[in-house]
Chain A
Amino acid sequence: MFDLFAKVFGRDDASKEVAKERLRLVLVHDRASLSPQAMENLKNDLLKVISEYMDIDDQGFRVDFSRHDDAMALVANIPIRSVKRQSLSK
């Protein structure tokens, strides 16, 4: 009802929408119960593992939680400099 009111009167900028969106994002982090430190550790571990297979740009390397409706995903953006040549012999 109030949402309708806000829409009818063109309040797309209603500050409660900003509040809800910011809360959604911050709660995804909070609920995943990963501290900034733990997030950093996860990033470093991923970096270590992936570096064994390819040369990656650790400056552009990003790991973040992302929310799609009710589901949550861990999204990593990993810029690759070059892929190491696979050795043919095992």
Chain B
Amino acid sequence: MGEAIVITSGKGGVGKTTTTANLGAGLAKDGHKVALIDADIGLRNLDVVMGLENRIVYDLVDVVEGFAKLKHALIKDKRFENLYLLPAAQTRDKTAVSPEQMRDLVEQMKEEFDFVLIDSPAGIEQGFKNAVAGADKALVVATPEVSSVRDADRIIGLLEAQEKHKPFLIINRIRADMVKKGDMMDIDDMIEILAIELLGVVPEDEAIVVSTNRGEPAVLNSQSRAGEAYRNIVRRLQGENVPMMKLEDESGFFGRLRKLMGFKG
């Protein structure tokens, strides 16, 4: 019996889909059988981030409505034969699926997969409720910005009210140079405010834009700092105790020199 993990945030644009794609690819690389569900019905994107947009035949709504079988809707990844994507429907809306239907679907998928990762839509309405319905664990993605932390706090409140999920925090797009200047909240600030357990910290990294352009998750890029951070989170999801990566300032002269010489903190 596998584990279902929902990736959520409240606010849009903080990196839910990127996180889902990277954790999924990372877990698959480590040999687990993984399925990704894009629960953002009407605004699907996990397919393009994974580079699988040309292979979609059936989607989540087709499966829930019994129009297609699950095994026919699941798209096999290009890189890993143990990684699958269940895409969202693009021409329907969130009300096409109910939380009960999602719970049944995730339950069914947990029998076949080690990990089922669910990419939640932004917001706190039905799409969010659908996404969390079948999950055993919730990862809350937040960037060090006032609006993102505020929305994360709201989501954590909703998750804790269900008394089913113990939410974990992923801090995304943190910039060491700005933290150092006191112009960005640091890790401790965010943990203090949100008061939940930290699962990982992902630095801002241009490689994410490049990897999204190409549809290849950064977790597979050994040169990427964000990729390294995702690999650490993947190991923590497997129960390993991995120390938090040191935030490195690569902006100054010595930082650039360190980067050039390939030193890692």
- A14→B180 CA distance, assembly (Å): 10
Identify which of residues 1-46 in chain A touch chain B, using a CB-to-CB cut-off of 8 Å: 2-3, 5-6, 11, 14-17, 19-20, 22-24, 26-27, 30-31, 33
Where chain B touches its partner, the secondary structure class is helix
B side interface size, CB within 8 A: 17
Are the CB atoms of B186 and A27 closer together than 8 Å? no
- A33→B149 CA distance, assembly (Å): 16
Are the CB atoms of B182 and A27 closer together than 8 Å? no
**B146 touches which one: A2, A6, A19, A30 (CB < 8 A)?**
A19
Are the CB atoms of A15 and B183 closer together than 8 Å? yes
**B186 touches which one: A2, A23, A26 (CB < 8 A)?**
A2
Given A23-B146, A23-B149, A23-B150, A16 and B182 touching (CB < 8 A)?
yes
The minimal Cβ–Cβ distance linking B237 to chain A, given in whole angstroms, is 28
Are the CB atoms of A11 and B181 closer together than 8 Å? yes
Neighbouring B residues of A20 by C-beta, 8 Å: 185, 189, 193
The minimal Cβ–Cβ distance linking A26 to chain B, given in whole angstroms, is 6
The minimal Cβ–Cβ distance linking B245 to chain A, given in whole angstroms, is 16
Identify which of residues 171-193 in chain B touch chain A, using a CB-to-CB cut-off of 8 Å: 179-186, 189, 193
Are the CB atoms of A16 and B183 closer together than 8 Å? yes
Neighbouring B residues of A5 by C-beta, 8 Å: 180, 182
Q: For residue A14, which residue of chain B has the nearest CB? A: B182
Q: For residue A22, which residue of chain B has the nearest CB? A: B146
- A20→B184 CA distance, assembly (Å): 10
Tell me which of B154, B181, B193 has the highest count of chain A C-beta atoms within 10 A of its own C-beta.
B181
- A67→B184 CA distance, assembly (Å): 23
Are the CB atoms of A14 and B193 closer together than 8 Å? no
The minimal Cβ–Cβ distance linking B22 to chain A, given in whole angstroms, is 27
Tell me which of B146, B154, B157 has the highest count of chain A C-beta atoms within 10 A of its own C-beta.
B146
**B183 touches which one: A14, A24, A26, A31 (CB < 8 A)?**
A14
Neighbouring A residues of B119 by C-beta, 8 Å: none
- A17→B181 CA distance, assembly (Å): 11
Q: For residue B186, which residue of chain A has the nearest CB? A: A2
Identify which of residues 112-160 in chain B touch chain A, using a CB-to-CB cut-off of 8 Å: 145-146, 149-150, 153-154, 157
Sample (12) of A-B pairs whose CB atoms are under 8 Å apart: A2-B186, A11-B182, A14-B181, A16-B179, A16-B183, A16-B189, A17-B182, A23-B149, A27-B150, A30-B154, A30-B157, A31-B157
